[in-house]
Structure 1
Amino acid sequence: MRIAVAATPIVAIPTLDALLASDHQLVSVITRADAPAGRGREMQASPVAQWAKSQNLLTYKPESVSLMSELVNDLDLVITIGYGFIIPDNILQIPRHGFINLHFSLLPRWRGAAPVQRAIESGDSVTGVTVFKLDKGMDTGPIYATEQIALSPDLNSGELLSTLAELGVGPVLQSLNLIMAGTEPKVQSEVGATRAEKLSKEQAHIDWNLDAVAIQRKVNAFNPNPGAWSQFRGQNLKINKVRITDQHLARGAIEATNKSVFVGTSTLALEILEVTPAGKSTLAASAWANGARITSTDVLN
């Protein structure tokens, strides 16, 4: 089949590599326009655009999704992976077999923008990927293939996304085979449907009145972006990694030893393992505490 991939993030690259090695023709890549990035705010191409350049693939960066119609009119199929735009129904109908999407959850659970993060935050015991045919709804289209894995409580969102990106290759290739065989996708159930709303910085603020398990899930879910945070001496402090201990401390109270930093919750204390102070680089929590000279009156809030 003549295929294009509409994608932006690095998680699309395992599927792109697999398509390039397959019997299908990867005609082009459609990705987001270059955008300012980093502290210098210099214009930077998306990870997918950089990959496509390295492979000498035809690359389009339309400023508007309405411009996609002329880019897909001679294709059999378009695969979307974190493209970042909602594609109108009239464009979905243009390729011979429409559009399919690789989604990083077991639909219908966690439809929306942040399925990996919401699965971790909610403490799901399993997760996976779904390949489905795009329709005019939000991740509501009929399903071609799924793959499920156990969800470790120690994984953060970045780590889980990397795992699911690799996991998704098989279901995508399986879906292509089904499409070529003329097999119709199965209607997606509404039973168990949930929404994975986009993350906000406000939601990433840690409430130390919660229990240790809930806070650990939030830290993992919001790492690496936007990063769970608290305030220390009036400045924001990102909390990147924690573990649950058997100690008890007052809620938000900090206790620092030579090698460890602990903070109280409504249940057990958490050991803070890694932090990013405002305007500074990421470092071990023990090194941060030594520099900050933690006192018995210090708290996180």
Structure 2
Amino acid sequence: MKVAFAGTPEFAATALRAILAAGHEVPLVLTQPDRPAGRGMKLQPSPVKQLALEHGIPVAQPQRLRSEVERAALVSAMPDVLVVAAYGIILPQPVLDLPQYGCLNIHASLLPRWRGAAPIHRAIEADDRETGITIMQMDAGLDTGAMLLRKPIAIHPDDTTGSLHDRLAVLGGELIVEALARLPGGLDATPQPPQGVTYAHKIGKAEARLDWRRSATELACAVRAFNPFPGAQALFDQNAVKIWHAFATTGQGEPGEILACDETGVTIACGDGALKCTELQRPGGRRLDARQFVQSGGLIPGMRAESTP
């Protein structure tokens, strides 16, 4: 099949690799425009663009797809189907109607739970025990299309967004290849039920700062959800200490109060219970395990981290 592909980050690049490995012809890749990144803030191509160029696949990078000019490359490619994975640009109806088999989306949740931009983060933050991949026939709504394939995956107690992302990316590649293999003969389309709809709103940097009035269990989930981005933070005297690994434990004190600080971790009181932080990072420093962090000084029992207003 002629499979046009639209995607931007590494999650999408994993799916594109699987499609290419399966032998499909990819006449065009759509990805977002290059963005400034790194210390020099030089323009950097997306992972999907880098992969496409390595395989000699034409790449188009429109800001949006509203006009005929912006859609011209896709029209010229004449794909049988357009596969979309974490593209980041809304597809207008003329694009949805263009391919013979429409547009298939690889979504990193078990729809209708966690529609939207950050399904992996939000599943971990909510302490879900499973998530998965849904291959969806796209329509004009926000992740509201009919489900074609759906496969669950367990969320491990120590999963971060980073580790779960990698497993879901591989599963997404496997499922889209299966969907494409079955597409010519038809796939059963199941409408999403109205029950169980939740929205995974985009992660903002402001969410990184932990509110110590919340329970330790909630904050432990937040630490896992915000690893690797944006990185959970505890604010001590206006200095943001990043917390990369932590778990809920027993303890009582004023929310944000350091209860203990030793080689096993920095234990901070929460609204209910305490959070034991075992991997931390000071501004401008590197990640340190608890022993290294405590030996380097700076935090002592009785200090308090500020809660959000």
TM-score by length of 1: 0.93
Aligned-pair distance for 1:246? 4.0
Q: Any idea what the Cα deviations from partners look like across 1:154-210, whole Å, max 9, x if unmatched?
A: 111111111100111222122213321033522222211111111112223211121
Aligned twin of 1:70 = 72
Aligned-pair distance for 1:52? 1.6
Aligned-pair distance for 1:68? 4.5
Following the alignment from structure 2 to structure 1, what is the Cα–Cα distance between the partners of residues 170 and 107? 12
Following the alignment from structure 2 to structure 1, what is the Cα–Cα distance between the partners of residues 63 and 142? 22
State whether structure 2 residue 166 is matched by structure 1 residue 162. Answer: yes
Aligned twin of 1:172 = 176
Aligned-pair distance for 1:214? 0.5
Following the alignment from structure 2 to structure 1, what is the Cα–Cα distance between the partners of residues 26 and 271? 53
Q: How many residues align?
A: 301
5+ long unaligned stretches in structure 1: none
Following the alignment from structure 2 to structure 1, what is the Cα–Cα distance between the partners of residues 297 and 90? 46
2:210 to 206, 209, 214: 206
Aligned twin of 2:267 = 262
Following the alignment from structure 1 to structure 2, what is the Cα–Cα distance between the partners of residues 75 and 10? 23
Following the alignment from structure 1 to structure 2, what is the Cα–Cα distance between the partners of residues 259 and 152? 22
Does the CA-based 8 Å contact 1:68-1:91 persist in structure 2? no
Following the alignment from structure 2 to structure 1, what is the Cα–Cα distance between the partners of residues 16 and 200? 25
2:195 match: secondary structure: coil
1:289 maps to a residue whose letter is: V
Following the alignment from structure 1 to structure 2, what is the Cα–Cα distance between the partners of residues 40 and 292? 32
Deviates more, 1:157-166 or 1:186-195: 186-195
Does the CA-based 8 Å contact 2:2-2:27 persist in structure 1? yes
2:280 maps to a residue whose letter is: V
Following the alignment from structure 1 to structure 2, what is the Cα–Cα distance between the partners of residues 189 and 258? 50
Following the alignment from structure 2 to structure 1, what is the Cα–Cα distance between the partners of residues 296 and 250? 26
State whether structure 2 residue 127 is matched by structure 1 residue 123. Answer: yes
State whether structure 2 residue 203 is matched by structure 1 residue 196. Answer: no
State whether structure 2 residue 280 is matched by structure 1 residue 275. Answer: yes
**Match runs of 1:200-239 below 5 Å:** 200-239=204-243
Aligned twin of 2:299 = 294
2:237 maps to a residue whose letter is: R
Aligned-pair distance for 1:7? 0.6
- Aligned Cα RMSD in Å? 1.8
1:253 maps to a residue whose letter is: E
TM-score by length of 2: 0.91
Following the alignment from structure 2 to structure 1, what is the Cα–Cα distance between the partners of residues 187 and 227? 39
1:165 match: secondary structure: helix
5+ long unaligned stretches in structure 2: none
2:137 to 128, 133, 141: 133
